[in-house]
Amino acid sequence: MLFATPEGRSSYNGPMAHAPRILPALLVLLTHLAAQEEGQRLQAAYQAIDVYVDRLMTWHGTPGMAVAVTSRDRLLRARYAGHADVKSRRPVTRETLYQIGSITKSFTAIALLQQKEKGRFDPMKPVTAWLPWFSVKTTFAPITSHHLLMHTAGIPGNRDDMTHGPYQAWALREQETAWAPGERFHYSNVGYQVLHQVLQRVSGRPYAEVIRHGILKPLGMTHTEPIIAAASRLRQAIGYRRLYDDRPAHRSHPLVESQFVEYGVGDGCIAATTEDLAAYTRMLLARGKGPQGRVLSKESFARFIDGGKAGYGYGMGVRRVGGRTELRHSGGMLGITSQLAGDLDSGIGVVAFANGPGDPAKLARFALKAARSALQGKELPTIPDPSARRPLEKPERFSGSYQGARGRFKIVVEGGALVLVQASGKIPLEHVSGAIFQTPHAAFDRFQFRFAGPDERGFTYVTHGGAWYANERYQGKREFPVPPEWARFTGHYRSYSPWSSNFTVIVRRGQLLLVTAEGGETSVDEQPLTARPEGGFFVSKPPSPEVLRFDTVVDGRALRALFSGHVFHRTP
């Protein structure tokens, strides 16, 4: 109602008379309730992440894992589980350093973009503008730093028989480019080893100093080490790997300590704590802005995340997922794996580590989805079960009686899974992917089973290493003439390098094949070797920057192989 004030003004004394005081209080209450509800949803997401960590560690036998979830503004949650050192029972904690591997490449790229902002560096200029001694065999246009940053220079991926330093970049003069710069994507650690030298040249300072002053200090990454050195070894998580390096890895294989190697080159030399790398992720989510101001200008960050057709920017994977822009990069060191994932649109990021088998990439993807769903008020994703195997689609496609030069067996279906049956008994086969299977049984553990030759009923033959076996429906060729000199090359070759320690060369069904197992820079794979007119073989289908050459033939057998310059020797 209205009434007169002593000053003669009218005033309202109805239900809304106190609204100016009530509304702010109501807004505070609603904000508090919304924050409380959001906090409860996030807690549910964190619990789901914890369950997944435990499941991964149990299934893989992982010694230790760490994962952190962050927003653009602050660290939301960090979880540490297991041991950084199994022998001493030293736990994984917030102080534990993990070697971040190839995530280092984005640091190198950002440092170079900072030099560009200072007018000292132009990524579009040939590398020789900064390194006059740089050389590579090519008939194409000069390689620029831009090509190296984008992995499009057409150069080999690795030179892991060298331990360190400038010679890795110098030795590129021994290799040939496979295509015109910028034409195709081929991931290359060697390229970032060259960029390490470029960064030191244009800045006039050591790499570690550039990274510490340009990135680590501005972001408050006070526990991170810009190079991997013995001085910080006792703070680092110890890496663990499966016992065997010459066959498909299996969870039944025991774990052993991986070799520790000092490393200070910008393709993979940083060791960071989980929370420090989360701080770095916050800067990425804020598009180059750190707590003390910009680390990268808006223009430089746009260049950093321009992934082009390959989905790879300057040292960072970039892809569109469901209308969102996501940044991702993995890191693989000796017995240590890592993953950085960030959603630029929702402002949520995750970093994850494992010092042994454990799949931090899957953990990061799940944690990112869970946290994002919680903040958006959506249903949380189902927690994956690593031990669960997806039902094999139409398993009868693989069944039959198979016979080859090295024996015979049957493939039968039991409980929806494949079982190999031979005179000595039954051997269960584990599904890897597609038509690929493996078993830890000693008779067949060196290679995978790969089914092929499909007809309307299923597959008609299966390969295992150099052997192949056809079933009763196979109608194809059975004789495959090959050049007699190929016999010189088949066999097992080793290197002292823990990054790429060994491979096997086989002949099967008229093809020369390179077979690799899991290692620091290798995975379980079979790649065709295609003869080059100039000598040697392209690894995989041509054109390829990777070339395998053989020499030192004694008693009809090559004693040495050079994989893009990396020296391997035949085993007895």
Domain assignment of residue 95, yes or no: yes
- State the residue for tokens 């054109």: 543
- 394 DSSP 8-state letter: S
The pLDDT value given to residue 379:
97
Query: 204 with 275, same domain?
Result: yes
Query: 498 with 452, same domain?
Result: no
φ, ψ (nearest 5 deg) of residue 62: -70, 130
Domain assignment of residue 351, yes or no: yes
Q: Number of helices (H) and strands (E), helices first, in the chain?
A: 9, 32
Look at residue 9 and tell me whether its pLDDT is greater than 60.
no
Query: 334 with 426, same domain?
Result: no
Q: Is residue 135 within 8 Å of residue 168, measured between CB atoms?
A: no
pLDDT band for position 24 (50/70/90)?
Answer: confident
Residue type at 423 in one-letter notation: A
Residue type at 414 in one-letter notation: E
Tell me the C-alpha distance between 341 and 333, whole Å. Answer: 18
Looking at the chain, the whole-number percentage of residues with pLDDT higher than 90 is: 90
Q: What is the CATH number of the domain that holds 414?
A: 2.40.128.50
Q: What is the CATH number of the domain that holds 554?
A: 2.40.128
Query: 499 with 458, same domain?
Result: no
Q: Is residue 38 within 8 Å of residue 375, measured between CB atoms?
A: yes
Query: 94 with 220, same domain?
Result: yes
The pLDDT value given to residue 10:
42
Domain assignment of residue 33, yes or no: no
Query: 235 with 156, same domain?
Result: yes
Query: 441 with 530, same domain?
Result: no
The pLDDT value given to residue 563:
98
Q: How many domains does the chain have?
A: 3
Q: Kindly report, residue by residue over 82-141, the tens digit of the pLDDT.
A: 999 999 999 999 999 999 999 999 999 999 999 999 999 999 999 999 999 999 999 999
Verify cis geometry, omega within 30 degrees of 0, for the bond prior to 543: yes
| Residue 234 token pair | 């006792």
Within 10 A of 7 (CB to CB), how many other CB atoms are there?
6
Look at residue 20 and tell me whether its pLDDT is greater than 70.
no
Query: 356 with 410, same domain?
Result: no
* Lowest-confidence segment of 137-141, 159-163, 500-504, 510-514 by average pLDDT: 159-163
Residues 438-467 have a mean pLDDT of 97
127-162 residues labelled b (16+ CB within 10 A) or e (exposed):
bebbbeebebebeeeebbbbbbbbbbbbbbbbbbbb
The pLDDT value given to residue 1:
38
The pLDDT value given to residue 39:
85
Domain boundary among 347, 375, 403: 375
Q: Kindly report, residue by residue over 145-202, the tens digit of the pLDDT.
A: 999 999 999 999 999 998 777 898 999 999 999 999 999 999 999 999 999 999 999 9
Tell me the C-alpha distance between 488 and 486, whole Å. Answer: 5
Domain boundary among 406, 441, 470: 470
Query: 507 with 371, same domain?
Result: no
Look at residue 241 and tell me whether its pLDDT is greater than 70.
yes
Average pLDDT score, the chain? 94
The pLDDT value given to residue 518:
86
Domain assignment of residue 24, yes or no: no
The pLDDT value given to residue 25:
66
pLDDT band for position 7 (50/70/90)?
Answer: very low
Query: 207 with 104, same domain?
Result: yes
Domain assignment of residue 31, yes or no: no
Domain boundary among 470, 497, 520: 470
Domain assignment of residue 188, yes or no: yes
Q: Is residue 394 within 8 Å of residue 65, measured between CB atoms?
A: no
Residues 284-313 have a mean pLDDT of 97
Q: Kindly report, residue by residue over 50-60, the tens digit of the pLDDT.
A: 999 999 999 99
Domain assignment of residue 478, yes or no: no
Tell me the C-alpha distance between 512 and 531, whole Å. Answer: 9
Query: 403 with 348, same domain?
Result: no
Domain residue limits at 465: 395-470
Q: Is residue 437 within 8 Å of residue 399, measured between CB atoms?
A: no
Look at residue 534 and tell me whether its pLDDT is greater than 60.
yes
Domain assignment of residue 142, yes or no: yes
Tell me the C-alpha distance between 409 and 285, whole Å. Answer: 55
**pTM for this predicted structure:** 0.93
Residues 517-539 have a mean pLDDT of 93
To the nearest 10°, the Cα dihedral for 283, 285, 291, 294? 70
Query: 295 with 162, same domain?
Result: yes
